[in-house]
Amino acid sequence: MITRFAPSPTGPLHLGHAYSAIIAHDMARAAQGTFLLRIDDLDQSRARPEWEAQIFDDLHWLGLEWPTPVRRESEHHGEYHAALDRLWNMGLLYPCTCTRRDIREALSAPQEGLPDAPRTGPDGLVYPGTCRTVPTGPRPEHATLRLNMGEACSRVQADTLQFEETGSDHAGRICLSTASMIHGIGDVVLARKDMGAAYHLAVVVDDAAQGVTHVTRGADLFEATRIHVLLQSLLALPKPIYHHHKLIRDEAGKRLAKRDDARAIATYREEGLSPDDIRRMVGL
C-alpha cells in the first residue's frame, strides 16, 4: 500500500491538514506500506520555500515519517506536458481565452436549447463551451487548455468510469454517469497559461508515477475525483482506491481555510499542545 499527503506550500498547515496527513500515514503504517509526502507547488506565484519548510517541520513534529527526497510538482513539468500532448493528439483539448467575466456573461445570455440556470461543478461555473473547437496543429504552449468533456467521455469504455471508495460516507463502487459529467462538470481546465499543468492533470500523473494505491483526502474533492478517474482511463493509468474523509470544521461548523491561522499547527505548538492533543482534537 502506498498513500500520500499532497499539501500546497501556500500557508500554514491547520487541523484539517493534520487530520488528512495522519489518516494517510496511519493507513499506510497499519498495512506496513509507505506514506509519501508530495509538494503541490504548481502555483509558483503562491508557493513559498518557508511554507514548505514549515510543512516538513509540522509533520515531523506530529510524528510522521516519509521517504526523501519528496516529489515537488514544479520539478515534473516534462511529465505533465507529455500527458497534455497525448490528450491534445487525441483531439480532446482546445485552447480557451475566456476570462471569468466572459464565462459569466456567456452564461447569463439566453442560450438556445439550454434553458437551465448556470451550473457549478468542482471548479466553479460549468464552462459554456464558447471556445470549443477541434484542435489542429501542435499543442500551443502557454495557453489555457480545456478538456472537451463530451468527446472525452465518448472515448472511454463506460465500465472504466468507476472507482472504489472506502470513505465512510459513500463507501462502495462508484459508477460515473457521463451525462452528469458533461452537465455537472463540463470542459475543465487542464493547463493554465501561467502555471502549465493544472491540478487535475498533475494529480493523476503524480499518483500514477509514484505508484499511489490509496488516495486519502477530504470529502471536498469527491466530485473532482470523477475528473481524475476519466483522465486515468484516457491516459491508461492505474486507478487507486479512494478514501474521502470528513472535513474538520471550526466550532461554527465552517470548514477550516488556509488563512485560518488560529488553527495552524504551528500556533498549537507554540501554545504547548502535544501531537496527541492534536490527534484528540480531530477525533483520532
What is the binding site for ligand GLU (CB under 6 A)? 6-8, 40, 203, 217, 221
Residue 233 · residue 157 · CB < 8 Å: yes
Strands, E, within the chain: which ranges?
A: 2-5, 34-39, 71-72, 93-95, 120-121, 124-125, 145-147, 162-165, 172-175, 189-192, 196-197, 214-218, 241-245
Q: Which of residues 90-129 bind Zn ion (CB under 5 A)?
A: 96, 98
Question: How far apart are CB 136 and ligand GLU at their closest, in Å?
Answer: 33
Residue nearest to ligand GLU (CB): 40
**How many CA atoms are closer than 13 Å to the CA of 36, on its beta-carbon side?**
23
Smaller CB separation from ligand GLU, 153 or 203:
203
The separation between the first and the last C-alpha atoms of the chain, rounded to the nearest angstrom, is: 21
Question: How far apart are CB 131 and Zn ion at their closest, in Å?
Answer: 3
- Judged by beta carbon distances under 5 to 8 A according to partner kind, the member of Zn ion, ligand GLU, none in contact with residue 217 is ligand GLU
Q: Nearest-CA neighbor of 2 among 167, 218, 217, 211?
A: 211
Smaller CB separation from ligand GLU, 125 or 221:
221
Question: How far apart are CB 32 and ligand GLU at their closest, in Å?
Answer: 22
Question: How far apart are CB 35 and ligand GLU at their closest, in Å?
Answer: 13
Q: List C-alpha distances in Å: 49 to 40, 54, 168, 198, 206.
A: 12, 9, 35, 20, 21
Smaller CB separation from ligand GLU, 143 or 221:
221
> If binding is defined by CB under 5 A, does position 193 make contact with Zn ion?
no
- Judged by beta carbon distances under 5 to 8 A according to partner kind, the member of ligand GLU, Zn ion, none in contact with residue 8 is ligand GLU
